[in-house]
């Protein structure tokens, strides 16, 4: 029973940040129902249910969103829900008859969470895009990578950091406010907003003249030799973050760099330091460096692969990764002392729980039959009901 136990959330099936947000809410105890489309849709990379980790922890119903009966069914569910989240382009939900004005009219306390790349307003609002495009516009992509070219940081900064996490934060904030005011509202989570927000400290340093507007030439972007990744003798890598002077002194001592020139941390001396550090780290294997550096104040960690990470003693001790339905995946985070977080169930197949969920949400047998009927039969079934 996590901290969000008792809250009911409807998720309109999509890709990227909305499903990840739904996973976060479910991991914290919310009852999340995912509304999948009956007809197959191009949702990007399709994976078998056990491996769709971001879809874990909720039940799925399948509806034909072009059917008036399905729209009415969603509205009936909305009347009982605390929140609904969706990640469509602006205007899609309105065209389905499920826009915020319509749904807040049914349930004035509803939190209506929307996540897009460009936001609900602005010149690019209705344009297509992906994570890489959204973070490109914020300055974040420009800041990541070697001097020669920007490098996409997976889709962590836009989709999940700037999108899903800000949507989850916004939804929970709005739920908290609604518990006091009795009024719902729309949460407009845009990846351009969230990614820019993640860069707040960076923009602060840039404004203060402490950040050069070019890659690999700053304290935290791999420019500073004491905050970077180095290859070891066995072709693996280690990470160093010895920013503070006492940590840096310990790094020099452990590397055996006793010449006074290595104490000069000025920008002009960075090439000298980098060459010395790279040469030193190539002299031993990754495991050998772990034996002398791990757990010290050097600020050191081996660079683990996806296959290796779960077996590291620290990760294993904290159970950072768990087995759910035979699939190793990250455990819910953050952790709570009393209202414990947890994975509620493996990812569902689309529509796996249609009848079960509808019954739980108060639909009669006749209403369920009408929803499951083919379009030409649905009207007659509904009329008889």
Q: Which of 280, 296, 317 is the last residue of a domain?
A: 317
Residue 266 has pLDDT above 60, yes or no: yes
Residue 277 sits in the same domain as residue 130: no
Residue 250 sits in the same domain as residue 348: no
Residue 142 sits in the same domain as residue 252: no
| Residue span of the structural domain in which 241 resides | 227-317
Residue 20 sits in the same domain as residue 137: yes
CATH number of the domain within which 271 lies:
3.30.1540.10
* pLDDT value, residue 381: 44
Across the strands, what pairs with 300?
240
Q: Catalytic positions, please?
A: 130, 159
Q: How big is the chain by its Cα radius of gyration, in Å?
A: 25
Residue 103 sits in the same domain as residue 27: yes
Residue 29 sits in the same domain as residue 110: yes
What total number of domains does the chain contain? 2
* pLDDT value, residue 48: 85
- The residue among 47 and 316 whose pLDDT is bigger is 316
* pLDDT value, residue 177: 98
Query: 97 lies in a domain?
Result: yes
Among 275, 269, 234, 235, which residue's Cα sits nearest to residue 255? Answer: 275
Residue 180 sits in the same domain as residue 40: yes
Query: 204 lies in a domain?
Result: no
Residue 181 has pLDDT above 90, yes or no: yes
Q: Which of 282, 317, 352 is the last residue of a domain?
A: 317
**Pairing status of strand 237-241 against strand 227-231:** antiparallel
Residue 19 sits in the same domain as residue 168: yes
% of residues, the chain, pLDDT over 70: 95
What number of other Cβ atoms are within 10 A of residue 33's Cβ?
Answer: 22
Residue 246 sits in the same domain as residue 274: yes
Question: Within 294-374, where are the H helices?
Answer: 306-309, 313-317, 354-360, 365-372
Write the pLDDT tens digit of every residue in 206-233: 999 999 999 999 999 999 999 999 999 9
Q: Kindly report the average pLDDT of the chain as a whole number.
A: 95
* C-alpha–C-alpha distance, residues 316 and 322, integer Å: 9
Residue 382 has pLDDT above 50, yes or no: no
Across the strands, what pairs with 301?
239
> Span 191-210, mean pLDDT?
98
């Amino acid at each position: 029973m996590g901290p969000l136990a008792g809250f009911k959330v409807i998720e309109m099936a999509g890709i990227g940040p909305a499903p990840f947000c739904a996973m976060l809410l479910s991991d914290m105890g919310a009852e999340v129902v995912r509304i999948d489309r009956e007809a197959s849709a191009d949702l990007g990379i399709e994976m078998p249910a056990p491996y769709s980790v971001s879809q874990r922890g909720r039940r799925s119903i399948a509806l034909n969103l072009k059917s008036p009966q399905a729209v009415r069914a969603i509205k009936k569910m909305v009347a009982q829900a605390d929140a609904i989240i969706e990640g469509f382009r602006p205007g899609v939900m309105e065209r389905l008859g499920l826009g915020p004005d319509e749904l807040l009219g049914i349930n004035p306390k509803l939190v209506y969470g929307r996540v897009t790349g460009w936001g609900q307003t602005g010149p690019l609002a209705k344009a297509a895009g992906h994570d890489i495009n959204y973070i490109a516009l914020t300055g974040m992509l420009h800041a990541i990578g070697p001097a020669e070219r920007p490098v996409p940081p997976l889709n962590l900064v836009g989709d999940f950091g700037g999108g899903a996490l800000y949507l989850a934060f916004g939804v929970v904030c709005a739920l908290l406010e609604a518990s006091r005011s009795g009024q719902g509202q729309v949460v407009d989570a845009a990846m351009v907003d969230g990614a820019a927000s993640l860069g707040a400290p960076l923009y602060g340093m840039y404004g203060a003249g402490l950040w050069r507007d070019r890659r690999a030439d700053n304290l935290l972007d791999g420019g500073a030799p004491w905050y970077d990744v180095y290859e070891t003798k066995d072709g693996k890598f280690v990470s160093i973050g010895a920013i503070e002077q006492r940590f840096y002194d310990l790094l020099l001592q452990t590397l055996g760099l006793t010449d006074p020139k290595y104490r000069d941390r000025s920008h002009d001396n960075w090439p000298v330091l980098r060459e010395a550090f790279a040469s030193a780290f190539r002299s031993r294997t990754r495991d050998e460096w772990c034996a002398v550096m791990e757990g010290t104040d050097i600020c050191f960690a081996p660079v683990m692969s996806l296959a290796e990470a779960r077996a590291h003693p620290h990760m294993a001790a904290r159970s950072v990764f768990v087995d759910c339905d035979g699939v190793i995946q990250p455990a819910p985070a953050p952790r709570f002392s009393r209202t414990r977080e947890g994975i509620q169930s493996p990812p569902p197949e689309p529509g796996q729980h249609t009848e079960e969920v509808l019954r739980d949400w108060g639909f009669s047998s006749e209403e369920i039959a009408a929803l499951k009927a083919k379009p030409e039969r649905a009207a007659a079934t509904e009329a008889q009901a």
